[in-house]
């Protein structure tokens, strides 16, 4: 995998390497320690359908009754489980491990400050609750239920950690080796000389901003 970086008038080419087992282990640690955990419950005579992008833990079911159909009687169960919503960084690491170069540029520009903490969600929901007209009972109930769920989620997530420290660990696992450097003006001269429009490359400038290098 290669990484291109624009440094003033030069275009630098780096070879990127990393230990796949270490990165995979870090990915699992992020899922376990940084995911937002939400407790889910539902009553049904069918097992819940879990999507592939959802991580489910601590699942169990308890029989709570029966449901009669014309052709059969089925047991009804209370299904309970914890659903883990992983940070977007997990998705980027998966793409990186599959060899997708573009994921590397997204990782290097990943913003760990964009996550809204559970405390901030509680504060905002409480403000929304206060702003609801006192005569709108249904809306009040809805916001109270949201606030109650958030308070439960806070307790469930009290041991979860910020993704920031794991993000820094990931950056340290990436080894950048400078392979070659070329003047951007020379690259443009080759294009003019050959009459071939070389493919655009995703690069980062010396300020760490990812963009596409447009060649003329």
Per-residue three-class SS string for 23-67: HHHHHHHHHHHHCEEEEEEEEECCCCCCCCCCEEEEEEEEEEEEE
* Predicted local confidence at residue 201, as pLDDT: 53
- The pLDDT assigned to 127 comes to 92
The DSSP letter of residue 46 is: S
Give the pLDDT of residue 71: 86
- The pTM of the full predicted model, rounded to 2 decimals, is 0.71
Phi-psi region of 28 (alpha: psi -120 to 50; beta: other; left: phi over 0): alpha
The parts of the chain modelled with pLDDT lower than 70 are: 52-53, 114-115, 196-216
Q: Name residue 91's beta-bridge partners.
A: none
What is residue 195's predicted lDDT score, i.e. its pLDDT?
73
């Amino acid at each position: 995998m290669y990484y291109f970086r624009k440094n003033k008038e030069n275009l630098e080419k780096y070879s990127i390497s990393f230990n796949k087992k270490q990165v995979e282990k870090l990915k699992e640690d992020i899922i376990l320690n940084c995911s937002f955990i939400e407790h889910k419950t539902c009553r049904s005579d069918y097992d819940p359908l879990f999507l592939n992008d959802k991580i489910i833990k601590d699942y169990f079911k308890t029989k709570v009754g029966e449901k009669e159909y014309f052709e059969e009687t089925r047991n009804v169960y209370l299904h309970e489980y914890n659903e883990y919503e992983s940070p977007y960084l997990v998705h980027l690491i998966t793409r990186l491990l599959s060899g997708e170069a573009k994921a590397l540029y997204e990782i290097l520009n990943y913003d760990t400050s964009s996550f809204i903490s559970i405390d901030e969600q509680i504060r905002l929901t409480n403000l929304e609750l206060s702003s609801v007209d006192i005569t709108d009972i249904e809306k009040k109930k809805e916001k109270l239920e949201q606030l109650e769920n958030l308070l439960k989620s806070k307790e469930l997530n009290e041991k979860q950690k910020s993704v920031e420290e794991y993000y820094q660990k990931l950056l340290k696992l990436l080894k950048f080796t400078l392979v070659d450097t070329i003047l951007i003006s020379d690259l443009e001269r080759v294009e003019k000389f050959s009459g071939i429009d070389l493919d655009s490359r995703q690069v980062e400038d010396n300020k760490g901003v990812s963009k596409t290098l447009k060649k003329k």
